[in-house]
């Protein structure tokens, strides 16, 4: 159901020693690079820029 919270998931989020912060950071950085490169050449240049940073 949209708009409801899974109590077990919320509790686990606060009590577990690990999180997906690094993954979210990589996704955010990739999206930022994609926005900056809008209209330029394809995936190969995007991949190159991501690997350089």
Instruction: Tell me the pLDDT of the chain (53 aa) as tens digits.
Output: 456 778 888 888 889 888 888 889 999 999 999 888 887 778 888 888 888 88
pLDDT at 42: 85
25: which 2 tokens?
């950071």
Residue with token string 């991949």: 47
Distance CA 24, CA 20 (A): 6
Estimate to the nearest angstrom the gap between the alpha carbon of 37 and the chain centroid.
17
Angle CA(30)–CA(32)–CA(38) in degrees, nearest 5?
100
């Amino acid at each position: 159901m949209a708009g409801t919270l899974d109590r077990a998931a919320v509790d686990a989020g606060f009590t577990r020693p690990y999180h997906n912060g690094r993954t979210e950071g990589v996704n955010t950085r990739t999206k930022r690079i994609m926005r900056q490169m809008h209209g330029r050449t394809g995936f190969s240049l995007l991949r190159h820029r991501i690997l350089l940073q």
